[in-house]
A and B are shown apart, each in its own frame.
Chain A
Amino acid sequence: MARNIRFREALREAMIEEMERDDRVFLMGEEVGHYQGAYKVSEGMLDKFGDKRVIDTPIAEGGFAGIGIGAAMVGLRPIVEFMTWNFSAVAFDQILNNAAKLRQMSGGQFNCPIVFRGPNASAKQVGSQHSHAMEHFYATIPGIKVVAPAYPADAKGLMKAAIRDDNPVLVMESETLYSVKGDVPDDQDAIPFGKANVVRQGTDLTLVAYSRMTLVAMEAAAALEKEGISVEVVDLRSLRPLDEDTIVDSVEKTHRCVVVHEGFPYGGVGAEVADRIQRLAFDALDAPVLRVTTLDVGMPYNAKLEQLCIPQPDRVIAAAKRVLYRGQA
Chain B
Amino acid sequence: MAQTNSHTHPIQSVESASPRDVPGAKGGTGGTQAPKAGAGIEHLVALYRQMFLIRRIEEEAARAYAQGKIGGFLHLYIGQEAVGVGAMAALQPDDYVITTYRDHGIALAKGMSPNALMAELWGKGTGCSKGLGGSMHMFDKATNMLGGYGIVGGHIPLAAGVAFASKYRNDKRVTLCFFGEGAVSIAGFHEGVSLAALWKLPIVFICENNEYSMGTPMSRTMSVEDVTSKAVGYGIPSDRFFADDVLEVEERIRQAVDRARETSMPTLVEVRTYRFRGHSMSDPAKYRTAAELEDRKKKDPVIRTRAKLLSEGYEEKRIEALEAEVEAEVMAAVKFAEESPEPDPSLLEATTYDGPFAS
Contacts and interface: CB of A to CB of B under 8 A. Distances in A.
Contact of B352 (A72, A103, A241): A103
A109 B158 contact: no
B155 to A, nearest CB: 7
A66 B358 contact: no
B137 interface: yes
Contacts of B129: 105-107, 109
Contacts of B52: none
Contacts of B359: 240-242
B195 A109 contact: no
Contacts of B179: none
Nearest to A57: B195
B90 interface: no
Given A71-B168, A103-B354, A110-B146, A62 B191 contact: yes
Interface string B151-179: 10011111111111110110000000000
B157 A66 contact: yes
Nearest to B129: A107
Given A63-B192, A66-B192, A240 B347 contact: no
A107 B127 contact: yes
Contacts of B215: none
A293 interface: no
Interface string A34-72: 000000000000000000100001101011111111111
Contacts of B155: 66, 98
Contacts of A298: none
Interface stretch (A2-10, A73-81, A171-179, A222-230): A73-81
A142 interface: yes
A241 B191 CA distance: 32
B194 A105 contact: no
B75 interface: no
Contacts, number: 158
B131 A166 contact: no
Interface in B340-359: 347-348, 350-356, 358-359
A311 interface: no
Q: Which of B127, B160, B161, B354 is most buried by chain A, counting CB atoms within 10 A of its CB?
A: B161
Q: Which of B131, B163, B168 is most buried by chain A, counting CB atoms within 10 A of its CB?
A: B168
B358 A193 contact: yes
A104 interface: yes
A206 interface: no
Contacts of A102: 147
B31 interface: no
Contact of A103 (B96, B163, B191, B351): B351
Contacts of B130: 107-108
B160 A107 contact: no
Contacts of B192: 63, 66-67
A97 interface: yes
A272 B128 CA distance: 36
Interface string A86-126: 00000001100110001111111111010000000000000
A73 B147 CA distance: 11
Contacts of A109: 129, 139-141
Given A26-B168, A60-B195, A167-B355, A105 B154 contact: no
A62 B188 contact: yes
A229 B168 CA distance: 57
Interface of A: 26, 52, 57-58, 60, 62-76, 93-94, 97-98, 102-111, 113, 142-143, 145, 165-167, 193-194, 240-242
Closest 4 CB pairs of A and B: A70-B161, A66-B157, A63-B191, A107-B130
Interface of B: 96, 98, 127-133, 137, 139-141, 146-147, 149-151, 154-166, 168-169, 187-188, 190-192, 194-195, 198, 347-348, 350-356, 358-359
23 contacts: A57-B195, A58-B194, A62-B187, A62-B191, A63-B188, A64-B157, A65-B157, A69-B157, A69-B158, A70-B159, A70-B162, A94-B157, A94-B158, A103-B352, A103-B354, A104-B352, A105-B133, A106-B147, A107-B131, A109-B140, A142-B352, A145-B353, A167-B358
